[in-house]
Amino acid sequence: MQTTTPSSLASVANNRDQRVPGTNLLGTGLETRGVHAWFGKKHVLSDVSLDFAAGTVTALIGPSGCGKSTYLRTLNRMHEFIPTAALAGEVLLDGQDIYAPGTDVTKIRLKVGMVFQKPNPFPSMTIGENVLSGLKLAQLKKSNTDDLLESCLMRAGLWSEVKDRLGEHGGSLSGGQQQRLCIARALAVQPQVLLMDEPCSALDPGSTFRIEETISELAKSMTIVIVTHNMQQAARVSDYTAFFLSDGGPGVMVETAPTSRIFSAPVDKRTEDYVTGRFG
């Protein structure tokens, strides 16, 4: 990894628009209390408590295997798809525990959307059908789908590129366009929170730039949590950064702070070592 000085990343973080929590009316956001995760007997995540204030972007950074993706997947209950997966602690959305007995998990996932590392449009559907697929999948009624289609593609920064080819299959787009299509698809069901699991790791710099623009635009209307390996990206897009680390045991959340402070004056020595490129 290229060695970067914390101050250069801090200046990147400082030069972006600063968002302050609580300045908009987007609900109370997402909180986790003492989240642990296991795969079988393996304890992979230990005691993570974090708040994601409504209308902010939080980056989760850390080396591979530190549990940050696992943690992200506990936030919309995708964690439980792995057959041996187990979990302890609470994830509160608007103050309600999403793991509470009797919860309809499909309703949770409508409120907490997700964009994956690898673009995964539905190949049997057209571009337009892909964007609106969430309505069909979740059996939501929507009267004016044309407007919704256009606004989702606009917000995902894809409209101008695809407006004349909405009937083509999703697979005909480039990787970066496919990923923005997946973002548009996630937006169509109007989530409160959007989780992004290394959304740019398979993309070229140009597409990455477009997606980062999209994230900044989206943060005006929703809460975003993004896992990234790219610290420049964390500095460019996030208001808060949480650093995860595993020393061979379960991953822990070492430190969380406003992004500019994580890169300028981290409290923990391990955070400093990581953000200055000494390891990881």
Partner 1 sequence: MTLLENQSAAIPAPREITTKPRLSDQIFRAIVTLGGMASLVILGLIALFLSLKGFHILTEEKFSFITESRWEVITGDTGNIEESNLGIGAMLVGTFLSALIAISVGVPIAVLSALYLTFYARGSAKKILISLIDLMAAFPSLLYGFWGFFVFMASAEYWAKLLNKYLGFVPFFDVPAPIFERSPFIAGLVLAIMIIPITTSISREIFDQTPLDRVQAAYALGASKLSMIRAVVIPYGRGGVIGGAMLGLGRAMGETVAVYTVLNIVYQINWQVLFGAGGNVASLILLKFGEAGPYEVDALMAAGLILFILTLLVNALADVLINRFGKKGR
Name the residues that contact partner 1, by CB under 8 A: 76, 78, 81, 106-107, 109-110, 113-114, 116, 118, 120-124, 133-134, 136-139, 182, 185-186, 189
Nearer to partner 1, 107 or 278 (CB): 107
The C-alpha atoms of residue 97 and residue 36 are separated, in whole angstroms, by 15
**Three-state SS at 51:** strand
Picking from 220, 245, 256, 223, the residue whose alpha carbon sits closest to that of residue 114 is 223
User: Minimal distance in Å, beta carbon 12 to partner 1?
Assistant: 30
User: Minimal distance in Å, beta carbon 149 to partner 1?
Assistant: 15
User: Minimal distance in Å, beta carbon 152 to partner 1?
Assistant: 12
Nearer to partner 1, 48 or 188 (CB): 188
Nearer to partner 1, 81 or 143 (CB): 81
Cβ contacts of residue 91 below 8 Å, gap of 6+? 30, 31, 32, 33, 35, 74, 75, 97, 98, 99
Nearer to partner 1, 25 or 81 (CB): 81
User: Minimal distance in Å, beta carbon 214 to partner 1?
Assistant: 18
In the numeric block, the tokens 């914390």 are attached to 6
Cβ contacts of residue 142 below 8 Å, gap of 6+? 132, 135, 148
User: Minimal distance in Å, beta carbon 102 to partner 1?
Assistant: 16
Burial of 132 (0-12, 13-18, 19+ CB in 10 A): buried
The C-alpha atoms of residue 98 and residue 188 are separated, in whole angstroms, by 21
Displacement of CA 103 from its chain's centroid (Å): 22
Nearer to partner 1, 110 or 275 (CB): 110
Strands 57-61 and 42-52: unpaired
User: Minimal distance in Å, beta carbon 272 to partner 1?
Assistant: 35
Contact 256, 36 (CB under 8 A): no
Nearer to partner 1, 134 or 250 (CB): 134
Nearer to partner 1, 58 or 76 (CB): 76
User: Minimal distance in Å, beta carbon 270 to partner 1?
Assistant: 32
